[in-house]
A and B are shown apart, each in its own frame.
Chain A
Amino acid sequence: MAVLLFLFLQAHAIYAAGPGDIRLDDKIESLKKAGVGPVIYPHAAHEKLYKCADCHPKIFKDKHGANDISMKRNMDGQFCGSPNCHNSPKAFPLYNCARCHTNVRAAR
């Protein structure tokens, strides 16, 4: 019983803390060609501004690997580039590569 209670509390604690930073690197080969590194998505920073239902499940399915995010799709108004997000004056624009991508190639 005590173990169950402990597990329940543990699960609750994880839920309250959120999923933390999410590393997006399934298209690493393409990313390398474009001169950028994977995106480390800061979930906590977005939690401060939005409620879960603002993004889930309409814009992002809340499951690892279920969202086939690409820069093309962002440009077309999906995922990060949704019309009220990083494709609007409300948030920084998509061309600020270094705000999301790590290891951004520096200009020569």
Chain B
Amino acid sequence: MTAPFKHRFYLKAFLLMFFAACLWYAADAISAEEKAPPAQQAPGKATPILDPGDPSSILYLDTSGKLAGTGDSTKPPSQYYKIGMGWHPQALTDTRLPRDKYGLIDWAKLVKSNMVKPRWSLDPNDEEMPPLDLDIIITAKSDFVNDVRYPHWIHTWWLKCEVCHPKIFVPAKGQNKMFMTEIAQGQWCGRCHGKVSFPLTDCNRCHTVPKGASK
């Protein structure tokens, strides 16, 4: 009986030590937990307002923390393309980016108010061309809808003539037989608007000239 008794003693001693270790560990973990929350809450209290004018703002960083879009331009832009395609609601709500009445970012207002100053070209040797100040009145087909005043000015801030002429629009007045149905299907203005530029949602953003007022 002696040997099992000894075994039992060792077992008891071992279990006791084990429990003591467990308790010590648990107490440590609890105290660590108690300390941790204030440390996490402190930076969360001050909501950061992201300044789109600051080039080092996290707005312009990719998921790895580097400045986005500065990769090797000779390689396919798949990684940055994917990041750009992502939806970043946090970044959107924290900025003071101007929005239209549909909650979409008003990019034209953004550049007009100098909040962002995009480069003329990625090529430093490219000669900068001043925007073309020429409004075109496009008559709406319907008898009831306002005509469109097309401003070359805001479009030529970023785009060269060759982007649209002559492939999308023949550069002659009245030679482009545009239909709103075709634009909605991705032709004409719909080549960009609704894809990279503001969508067709706000009709009155383009249809501004009352019928007969242009003559």
Contacts and interface: CB of A to CB of B under 8 A. Distances in A.
Interface string B118-150: 000000000000000000000011111110000
Contact of A89 (B102, B143, B181, B204): B102
Decide if the interface of chain B is mainly helix, strand, loop or mixed: loop
Contact of A105 (B181, B200, B207): B181
B1 to A, nearest CB: 83
Decide if the interface of chain A is mainly helix, strand, loop or mixed: loop
Nearest to A74: B203
Nearest to A95: B200
16 contacts: A34-B180, A35-B179, A36-B181, A71-B142, A71-B203, A72-B142, A72-B144, A72-B207, A75-B204, A75-B207, A88-B102, A89-B102, A93-B201, A98-B181, A107-B187, A108-B182
B42 to A, nearest CB: 37
B116 interface: no
Contacts of B183: 95
Interface residues of B, number: 24
Nearest to A88: B102
B79 to A, nearest CB: 31
A67 interface: no
Given A34-B179, A34-B180, A36-B181, A95 B144 contact: no
Nearest to B142: A34
Interface string A53-95: 0000000000000000011111110000000000011000111
Interface of A: 27, 29-31, 33-36, 70-76, 88-89, 93-98, 101, 104-108
A70 B203 CA distance: 13
Contacts of A101: 181
B171 interface: no
Contacts of A105: 179, 181-182
Contact of A29 (B143, B185, B204, B207): B143
